[in-house]
Amino acid sequence: GPGLEIGSYCGKSTVYLGTAFKAAGSLLFALDHHRGSEENQPGWDYHDTDLWDKAADAMDTLPFLRRTLRAARLEETVIPLVTRSTLAARFWTMPLSFVFIDGGHTFEAAANDYRCWAPHVQPGGILAIHDIFPDPADGGQAPYEIYKLALASGLFEELATVKTLAVLRRILV
């Protein structure tokens, strides 16, 4: 079935995921408001001036994602959704085989992504959460906190953790 990536940014991970979904004959929805996360804003460590749209006076990564998808020949496989995660989720009804959470890294943003999208992971489907840092000295804690929520829910079991990526499977109910 189809999958969802939350936080497509300029499309690096989208290409990897989209290539897998293309090979499987399925679709990947790439959800991002394309205005950058907190750490991408001016004055923060991960701000990239090349991504700043002077006319909008805001970040705009959508043109970069579109170029990336075109270059990777994934325009017929990856469907960009340009909005906030909570807004897209309000009327979503489609079960998903895969949800990759790599959006905003505040607790509020990460928790919203988890609460909005985990219920759409079909039994046997995958919930992948990026930037898992059990030790606060290594990185932000919001993704780790939603990882713990997912396990505590009893709806997901851990399959693997590779570096900072946790891969969970929705338990068959």
Q: Annotated active-site positions, please?
A: 105
* 3 state DSSP class of 72: coil
* 3 state DSSP class of 170: strand
The residue written with tokens 């309000």 in the block is 90
Residue 104 has what DSSP assignment?
-
Q: Which two tokens stand for residue 127?
A: 């919930």
Contact (Cβ atoms closer than 8 angstroms) between residue 78 and residue 30: yes
Q: How far apart are CA 111 and CA 124, in angstroms?
A: 22
Contact (Cβ atoms closer than 8 angstroms) between residue 134 and residue 171: no
Cα 96 to chain centroid, rounded: 13
Q: Which two tokens stand for residue 146?
A: 């939603």
* 3 state DSSP class of 161: strand
Alpha-carbon torsion (16, 21, 25, 29), positive or negative: negative
